[in-house]
Structure 1
C-alpha cells in the first residue's frame, strides 16, 4: 500500500479505532535504542493493531512509529530516522518490527549542493513540505538521484526572495510568480503535484488549494526522486 493510500485509510479508520484507545495504558518513555540510533519515544502501547498505532501517531503529532505484528506492540517516536532509498516512508523491518515515518526534519546549508531526500516517488503524484528560509528554496523532481537526470525544478523565493517559478531542467522560468512566499522567522507550508507533465505548486496543507504556479510541460518525466537545496540556511519538514 503506498503512503498516500495508507494515510487516507488511517484517516478514514480513525473514528473506527478511537474506541480502542481506552484499552490498556499509554505510557511515556524517555528514550530507547531503536534499530539505528537513540530516539525519543512519546508513548508505547500493547495489544493494538498497526492501524491503531498509525492513527494514534497522527493524533499525537509523532514523527514516526514502530509496530510489532507479533505481540501488537506500538511505539510512537518524536524523532524519525530513515535510511536512504528505502520504500516510501518506512524503515527496514527487523526482528518482526515495522518502522514507519510520517515526517522527517532536516536542514540545508548554503553551499552544500543538492540533497537527495532518499524517498521513492514513482508511485506518488504529490509531496507536501514546510520550509523556513529567507530566500532561494529549490526542489528538483527528477527521474534519477542527481541533477543530471531529467526532471522538473521548483524555485521558491529566488532572485533575492522576490520571484518563484517552474523549470524543465535548466530551461527558462515558466509560470512566474512575483511576490514573497518564504519566511526566515516561521515555517511556510507548500505542496507540489505532478501528472503527465503538469506541475502545480501551492500553499497550505491540501494539494489543489492555494495554487500559485501551474505549468504543463511538453516533456513528460517519471518522477522518482526529490532533491532539495537552499541559497541560505533552510529548515525543512517533509511529510511522507
Structure 2
C-alpha cells in the first residue's frame, strides 16, 4: 500500500480553514443526502468499511481535495438496492445486479482495493469481487469521499489501518 496511515479530512467551511488529523481506530460517520466526508488514501490502497443504508451508497475518488468532479465513482445498492456500478469520468461503466446488498437495519461490510490498474469492490468475508473496473492509469485517485444519494441517509464505520498515534494539523 502506498500510504502507511489513513487520514480523515474534514473541511471547516464556517471558519475558512482546513483540519486534517490522523485517526487511530475506526472512523464513524453519518451521511445525509450528499458526499460530504473525505479521507485521504495512498496512491495504491484499500478501504474496508461497514455501512447501514437502505440503498444508494456512493464512494468517489478524486485527484485532490479541491477537485469538484470525481475521477471515479462507485455506487453500491443503486436503483432501490438492485444494482451496483463503477463509472469513470470518461463515462465508461461496469454494472452488476446486486439485489438486497444493503440494509437499512444492519451494517453490511465491504472492501475496495485500488491501484493504477484496477478498482475492485467486494463483500466483507469474501475474496470474490462484486465488480472490477480496469483503470486508465492517468486517472489519479488520491482522495476518497463517501456519502449517500437522494433521501437516503447512511451510518458508516470506516476501518483505519494506521498504527501511528493521532496528530492534528490546521492551516
Place the TM-score, normalised by the shorter chain, in its bin.
0.7 to 0.9
Identify the residue that residue 77 of structure 2 maps to in structure 1: 157
The counterpart of 1:201, out of the listed 104, 108, 121, is: 121
The counterpart of 1:107, out of the listed 19, 26, 30, is: 30
Higher helix share: 1
Query: 1:90-239 maps to which residues of 2 (within 5 A)?
Result: 90=22, 100-110=23-33, 113-117=34-38, 119-145=39-65, 148-169=68-89, 171-204=91-124, 209-231=127-149, 232-239=152-159
Higher strand share: 2
Query: 1:69-80 maps to which residues of 2 (within 5 A)?
Result: none
Query: 1:2-151 maps to which residues of 2 (within 5 A)?
Result: 2-3=4-5, 84=10, 86=20, 90=22, 100-110=23-33, 113-117=34-38, 119-145=39-65, 148-151=68-71
Deviation at 1:134, TM superposition (A): 0.5
Q: TM-score, normalised by structure 1?
A: 0.54
Secondary structure of 1:160 counterpart: helix
Secondary structure of 2:68 counterpart: coil
Large movers: runs of 4+ above 6 Å? none
Say how many residue pairs are matched: 147
1:235 and 1:205 mapped to 2: Cα distance?
A: 20
Larger Rg: 1
Aligned-residue RMSD, C-alpha: 2.5
1:166 and 1:123 mapped to 2: Cα distance?
A: 18
2:124 and 2:30 mapped to 1: Cα distance?
A: 20
Contact 2:31 2:147 in 1 (8 A): yes
**Structure 1 residues 175 and 237, CA, compared in 2 at 3 Å: closer, same or farther?**
same
Q: TM-score, normalised by structure 2?
A: 0.74
Contact 1:2 1:123 in 2 (8 A): no
Query: Which structure has the higher relative contact order (CA within 8 Å, separation 6+)?
Result: 2
**Structure 1 residues 184 and 216, CA, compared in 2 at 3 Å: closer, same or farther?**
same
